[in-house]
């Protein structure tokens, strides 16, 4: 059985990444890794589903234990991918999506060069600001902090394997599946298929 693919999926906050992922995860073979973070849970967020919400001390203890595939600081908080959320699933042939910011994404690309990296960009920075305001979960100050963080992130988009502009949700989701389909057809992953074709030759 082929191993699952590790998918690095980054998008500045407000790019519609959450809605895109909800659509993608309707497809059963994908799993989104649950990260650990030291930020407060937002209303409606559930521990163990959206994130593992832990203290700074707990986070630092996990760093010492080498429990993270990667971790990064973002807007004054820690965020990290737990190895336990990734490798067992890949072994079982499940594709694992890491929804992470750019610093962490670069680390994963370096440590796991076989991963597929996708950056989701907004159609424009002004549209991004409009979406963040509409969401209404953050203060104006936090929104401006996130917009400026986003501009820095977008400038790194070219380091990813693929860029999807999320203008219309349906198109963005179909771009994602097109990427995954092409990735799976890459010759270097076709060992099982070729063996099957050659059987009884």
Nearer to ligand 5GP, 70 or 95 (CB): 70
Nearer to ligand 5GP, 36 or 181 (CB): 36
- Write out the binding residues for ligand 5GP, residues 91-150 only, by CB under 6 A: 99-101, 103-104
Mark residues 57-76: x for contact with ligand 5GP by CB under 6 A, - for none.
Answer: -------------x-x-x--
> Does 80 help bind ligand 5GP (rule: CB under 6 A)?
yes
Nearer to ligand 5GP, 35 or 115 (CB): 35
User: How many CB atoms neighbour CB 199 within 10 A?
Assistant: 7
The whole-angstrom distance between residue 68's C-alpha and the CA centroid of its chain comes to 15
Nearer to ligand 5GP, 101 or 175 (CB): 101
- Determine the size of the site formed for ligand 5GP (CB under 6 A): 14
SS (H, E, C) the chain: CCCCCEEEEECCCCCCHHHHHHHHCCCCCEEECCEEECCCCCCCCCECCCEEECCHHHHHHHHHCCCEEEEEEECCEEEEEEHHHCHHHHHCCCEEEEECCHHHHHHHHHHCCCCEEEEEECCCHHHHHHHHHHHCCCCHHHHHHHHHHHHHHHCCHHHCCEEEECCCHHHHHHHHHHHHHHHHCCHHHCHHHHHHHHCCC
- Write out the binding residues for ligand 5GP, residues 5-64 only, by CB under 6 A: 13, 35, 39
- Closest residue to ligand 5GP, Cβ-based? 104
Nearer to ligand 5GP, 4 or 80 (CB): 80
- Write out the binding residues for ligand 5GP, residues 164-193 only, by CB under 6 A: none
Q: Minimal distance in Å, beta carbon 189 to ligand 5GP?
A: 26
Residues in touch with ligand 5GP (CB under 6 A)? 13, 35, 39, 70, 72, 74, 79-81, 99-101, 103-104
């Amino acid at each position: 059985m082929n191993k699952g693919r590790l998918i690095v999926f980054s998008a500045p906050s407000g790019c519609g990444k959450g809605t895109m992922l909800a659509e993608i995860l309707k497809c059963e073979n994908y799993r989104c890794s649950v990260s650990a973070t030291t930020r407060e849970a937002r209303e409606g967020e559930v521990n163990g589903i959206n994130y593992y919400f832990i203290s700074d001390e707990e986070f630092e203890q996990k760093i010492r234990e080498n429990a993270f595939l990667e971790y990064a600081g973002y807007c004054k908080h820690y965020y990290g991918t737990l190895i336990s959320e990734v490798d067992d699933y890949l072994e079982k042939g499940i594709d694992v999506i890491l929804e992470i910011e750019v610093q962490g994404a670069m680390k994963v690309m370096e440590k796991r060069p076989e991963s597929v990296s996708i950056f989701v960009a907004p159609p424009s920075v002004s549209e991004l600001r409009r979406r963040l305001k509409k969401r209404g979960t953050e203060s104006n100050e936090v929104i401006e902090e996130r917009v400026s963080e986003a501009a820095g992130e977008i400038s790194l988009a070219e380091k990813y394997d693929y860029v999807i502009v999320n203008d219309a949700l349906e198109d963005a989701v179909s771009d994602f599946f097109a990427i995954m389909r092409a990735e799976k057809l890459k010759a270097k992953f076709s060992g099982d298929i070729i063996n099957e074709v050659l059987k009884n030759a």
